[in-house]
Amino acid sequence: MENAVTQSLLGSIARSIHEGGLSELTILGIESTSHTFGVGIVRVSSGVPEILVNEFSKYVPEKGGIHPRDASNYHAEEAPKVLHRALSKAKVKLSEVSAIAVALGPGLGPCLRVGATIARFLSSYYSKPLIPVNHAVAHIEIGKLLNNLRDPLVIYVSGGNTLIAVQRRKRYRIVGETLDISLGNLLDTFAREVGLAPPYVVNGVHQVDVCADWGEDFIDLPYTVKGNDLSFSGLLTAALKKAREAKSRRELGSVCLSLRETAFNMLVEVSERALVLAAKSEVLLTGGVAANKVLNDKLASMASIHGAKFYTVPADYAGDNGAMIAWNGLLHYAYGVVVKPEEAFVRQRWRLDEVDAPWLLED
């Protein structure tokens, strides 16, 4: 991963590593904010970053959505296996790790506590510094690393988040966000209530997309854009009502089609406005919903109208994963951001725009 932006970013990190008397950094990152328990290991050696391993195990409910207790039980069982797998694949011993990074929020409390407990233990037992990482910032930074981006307009869409952000004065600032449920939540809840899911995604295609192919007609559904903010809950209610009235596969398909078009158009519209307002030349789509092809196409075509380049993140790094926590942990660590294990509390609510990001490169 040698590229210009990373080089200049790592130049400053290398300096701080050097000042700390280190030539190399190896960070182990732990992710457990929601359905995924992940462990990633990232190493920077002579200014070149490398993702050594990105292991994870994903909790898939048999029915319904994610139950926080069931998910956390799952994490507790999977955690040692995932950790062992990561260490042995990377051929790294815990004693060789420079520091432990952990996603302390935002997310589901019971799930967060599993990752935090393990991280605090590893940190105390092996006397390694502990780095607090914000899950949302980590999502953005891994996308920037993999695409060699300096200052993109960020569109972060997942089961828990739907937001548009840009960096400014050493922080990410939120330009627009959902005021109620997230885009992923909208699609998942609809699919579940209508009886199309779980599983929600099969072979990389969401059930709502599968269903949309059955339909042809466009139905008028509530389109709620408030300035740069979005609201999906009224759309969900209206779509479910229409779905219950549907008498054929084709009619249900039309509801799916209209739901998807309405929701995506809302997101693309605010993204477009944010892109023009912030005047960026790069657009980055990340988060669990980033894999959606229809959304990708719409955003790519929007970006091209404004001469901006569109980037997305490979599925293994777009969804929740440990490597992104490790990489963001490394960035924090290079600037001396650590936390004492006894003070590493989880924060279920921890906004992206509350996190200082001293590594950000600004013009």
Count the neighbouring beta carbons within 10 Å of the beta carbon of residue 343: 9
Per CB under 8 A, does 228 bind another protein? yes
Tokens of 192: 């579940």
Per CB under 8 A, does 253 bind another protein? no
C-beta of 12 vs 233, nearer to another protein: 233
Angstrom distance (rounded) from CA 253 to CA 155: 27
Q: Interface with another protein by CB under 8 A: which range of 146-154, 177-185, 189-197, 233-241?
A: 177-185
Per CB under 8 A, does 105 bind another protein? yes
Per CB under 8 A, does 248 bind another protein? no
Torsion of CA 9, 130, 349, 59, to 10 degrees: 100
Residue 175 CB, nearest approach to another protein (Å)? 6
Q: Interface with another protein by CB under 8 A: which range of 123-131, 284-292, 300-308, 310-318?
A: 300-308
Per CB under 8 A, does 218 bind another protein? yes
Nearest to 152 by CA among 139, 135, 162, 134: 139
C-beta of 91 vs 226, nearer to another protein: 226
Among 169, 195, 343, 363, binds another protein (CB under 8 A): 169
Q: Interface with another protein by CB under 8 A: which range of 66-74, 179-187, 200-208, 319-327?
A: 179-187
Angstrom distance (rounded) from CA 113 to CA 37: 12
| CB 24 within 8 Å of CB 167 | no
Per CB under 8 A, does 193 bind another protein? no
C-beta of 4 vs 305, nearer to another protein: 305
Task: Give Cα 145 distance to the centre of its chain.
Answer: 14
Q: Is the peptide bond before 198 cis (omega within 30 degrees of 0)?
A: yes
Nearest to 173 by CA among 191, 157, 151: 151
Q: Interface with another protein by CB under 8 A: which range of 22-30, 120-128, 245-253, 299-307?
A: 299-307
Per CB under 8 A, which of residues 321..360 are in contact with another protein?
A: 347-351
Per CB under 8 A, does 174 bind another protein? yes
Angstrom distance (rounded) from CA 155 to CA 171: 16
C-beta of 168 vs 192, nearer to another protein: 168
Among 31, 272, 282, 320, binds another protein (CB under 8 A): 272
How many residues bind another protein, per CB under 8 A? 45
- In sequence order, what are the beta bridge partners of 70? none
Angstrom distance (rounded) from CA 133 to CA 72: 19
Per CB under 8 A, does 273 bind another protein? yes
Angstrom distance (rounded) from CA 30 to CA 121: 12
